[in-house]
Amino acid sequence: MSPHVCHSWLSFMLDNPLRRLLHDPEHLLAGFVTEGATVLDIGCGPGTYTIPMARMVGPAGKVIALDIQEKMLDKLVHRTVREGLQSRIRLQLYSGGRVGVTDRLDFALAFWMAHEVPAPFSFFSQISPMLKPGASLLLVEPLLHVSRRGFNRTVDAIQSTGLEPAAAPKIAMSRAVLFERRGLSE
């Protein structure tokens, strides 16, 4: 595991009431996550965004929760059962450099995790083709932890996979870019 990966025993820092006040998932994702959508929560951790997205996609939608740590996914399993959302959430372990997801996505979220990826181009080149035409990827990185230069390298890596920057949303204590998959068909 990369030394930059937030360990599972620190998951309380990722999902707590103060963080939800700062980054309210329903507010941040309104307009991106819709009823019936298939969405990917990249680096889902303990489910800070996974659980709210599962509510937002409704019973006809699906959230794929992707993480590199099995212990984070174990924590999320307990939350999905407690919330009664297990039918809407599929857990996926990132292993051997493979995302392991083939679903067609309406939206993907990479919130405060891209700096933990050792090879951003390789990683996001697996995500990019899964996005349907018109679908988007929201990249959000922590302002105090990721330099402008580091952020720009990640943006360039994602852009080189064929996604185009469409907006730069303002998100507290963060740098963010919304990418879109352009084109009417593939």
Give the lowest-confidence range in 12-16, 54-58, 105-109: 12-16
> Considering the domain boundaries, does residue 48 fall inside one?
yes
Q: In this predicted model, what pLDDT tens digit does every residue of 132-146 receive, in sequence order?
A: 999 999 999 999 989
**Helix residue ranges per DSSP H, 30-111:** 50-57, 70-83
What's the domain count of the chain? 1
Average pLDDT for the chain: 89
Is 2 part of any domain? Answer: no
* pLDDT above 60 for 14: no
Residue 103 lies in a domain: yes
Tokens standing for residue 149: 């230069």
pTM, two decimals, is 0.89
The domain that holds 88 is classified in CATH as 3.40.50.150
Which ranges of the chain would DSSP assign to H, the alpha helix?
11-14, 17-22, 25-29, 50-57, 70-83, 120-127, 148-159
